[in-house]
Amino acid sequence: MCLKDKALAVRENAYVPYSNFKVGASLVAENGETFVGCNVENVAYPEGTCAEAGAIAAMVAAGQTKLTEVYVVADAPVPVSPCGGCRQKLIEFGSGEVVITMATLDGTEKKMTLAELMPGAFTEEHLENT
């Protein structure tokens, strides 16, 4: 199953009783394994989990810490990009060259690198002399 199909499938498991806005994400780790995540809302609204964060957590739980590709899909009129927090999480585990594909259910896709999505990202280089 390709990244797109995995993201579409896991999107169906999203727990979104408040927004009804389902998001699915899939990513490939450096070793070739694929991990998925969906958004999970909470009545204490800011305590939910984004789909990208769920996929990253699954990757790290499996012992992987580098991602090489990401696919995100949502039911929206235009492709939805990861939120700011997820952008920072993605850059933590991927290089600027990693491609993020953002898609709608009708198949519209937009591709960007992490560097394009998160210019001026705060990285470990900022902490080298601390």
Residue position matching structure tokens 């394994």? 33
| Cα 121–chain centre separation | 16
In the block, which residue shows the tokens 């002399």?
129
**Dihedral pair phi/psi, residue 124, rounded to 5°:** -60, -25
83 among the known binding-site residues?
A: yes
43 annotated as a binding-site residue: yes
74: burial class by Cβ within 10 Å (0-12, 13-18, 19+)?
A: buried
Q: Is 71 annotated as a binding residue?
A: no
Per DSSP, the three-state class of 64 is coil
40 is in an annotated binding site: yes
The residues assigned a catalytic role are 52
41 is in an annotated binding site: yes
29 marked among binding-site residues? no
The binding site for Zn(2+) consists of 50, 83, 86
The binding site consists of 39-45, 50, 83, 86
The binding site for substrate consists of 39-45
